[in-house]
């Protein structure tokens, strides 16, 4: 049996504006499939294979609270464990 220890921390919920922007720019976002993107102020401010690196890219631009999301590949579904 495998067990995981998860640190509890408050989650930042993606706002309506960010969800609308992502929905309207799906073609722009789809080119980053399989990667994490950081979105802030209606703009992609970080792109990487890891959420940590995408966040770091946004911090380097002075944006400390972007919304992070994984861009799913076309052949992938969402998995809930």
Model pLDDT for residues 7-33, shown as the tens digit of each residue: 444 444 556 777 788 889 988 899 999
pLDDT score recorded for residue 32: 94
Question: Residues near 53 by Cβ (< 8 Å), separated by ≥ 6?
Answer: 36, 46
pLDDT score recorded for residue 8: 46
Q: Which DSSP helix (H) or strand (E) runs through 57?
A: helix 51-60
Q: Is the pTM of this model over 0.75?
A: no
- The domain limits of the chain are 16-70
Question: Residues near 64 by Cβ (< 8 Å), separated by ≥ 6?
Answer: 58
Q: How many CA atoms lie within 13 A of 5 on its CB side?
A: 0
pLDDT score recorded for residue 14: 54
């Amino acid at each position: 049996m495998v067990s995981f220890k998860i640190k509890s921390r408050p989650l930042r919920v993606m706002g309506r504006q960010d969800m609308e922007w992502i929905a309207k720019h799906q073609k722009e976002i789809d080119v980053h499939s399989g990667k994490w993107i950081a979105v802030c102020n209606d703009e992609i401010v970080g792109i990487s294979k890891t959420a940590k690196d995408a966040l770091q890219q946004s911090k380097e631009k002075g944006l400390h609270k972007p919304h992070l999301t994984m861009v799913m590949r076309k052949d992938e579904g969402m998995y809930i464990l």
